[in-house]
Amino acid sequence: MKTIALVFAAGAAAAAAAAQPKPAVTHAIAVLIPGKDSKVAGTIHFKKEGTGVHVTGALTGLAAGNHGFHIHEFGDCSAADFTSAGGHFNPAGNPHGGPKDAKRHEGDMGNIEATPDGNGTVDYVDSELGFDGTKSIVGRGVIVHANPDDFKTQPTGNAGGRVACGVIGVAKAE
């Protein structure tokens, strides 16, 4: 009788676990690695805030000035020049633009400005980014470019080569 009771309890626990929905992602993270001939590295956090996502982080090893900063379609940093990350993440089929444009690629996060000592930080809330459905940035790539994004040239912003790459993953709970 005891054995039967244990088996029943285990079965009920498994059923309860299966019925529970997966917890929604509210915090994702990308650790960026430098490309060939680059020293650019850093960490970018993505945290759900209201209906958007709060993007924060810091990079080192940059040349002074602005650098295009995007989410690209693939979380694939395997190629030496990071072309494996594909083009800008663009699930809505929009033209390229800047983060404040009404129509833009979802991945168009603008520029990161580096100080003369090579440090760049980002801290803004992006209303286009999300963690759910076709808009989900989880599993996509973050790319930092050698040159500034002009927010106009299609489809890349003319931002030049790719100097750092990271994969957006689910962050460990704090």
Note whether 67 binds Zn ion by CB under 5 A.
no
Assess whether 104 carries a catalytic annotation: no
Question: DSSP assignment of 20-36, as one string?
Answer: SPPPPP-EEEEEEEE-T
Note whether 105 binds Cu ion by CB under 5 A.
no
Note whether 143 binds Cu ion by CB under 5 A.
yes
Pick from 79, 53, 58, 80: nearest CA to 69: 58
Assess whether 76 carries a catalytic annotation: no
Assess whether 45 carries a catalytic annotation: no
Residue numbers 73-112 binding Zn ion by CB under 5 A: 88, 96, 105, 108
Note whether 142 binds Cu ion by CB under 5 A.
no
Note whether 162 binds Zn ion by CB under 5 A.
no
Assess whether 54 carries a catalytic annotation: no
Residue 68 is encoded by which pair of tokens? Answer: 């295009």
Nearer CB in complex with Zn ion: 11/95: 95
How many chain residues are in contact with Zn ion, going by CB under 5 A? Answer: 4
Assess whether 72 carries a catalytic annotation: yes
CA 20/CA 18 separation, integer angstroms: 5
Residue 47 burial (10 A CB sphere; 0-12, 13-18, 19+)? middle
Pick from 124, 174, 163, 171: nearest CA to 32: 163
Assess whether 88 carries a catalytic annotation: yes
Residue numbers 63-92 binding Cu ion by CB under 5 A: 70
Pick from 142, 131, 149, 148: nearest CA to 168: 142
Q: Which does 143 bind (CB under 5 to 8 A by kind): Zn ion, Cu ion, none?
A: Cu ion
Instruction: Using CB under 5 A, list all residues that contact Zn ion.
Output: 88, 96, 105, 108
List the catalytic residues. Answer: 70, 72, 88, 96, 105, 108, 145, 162
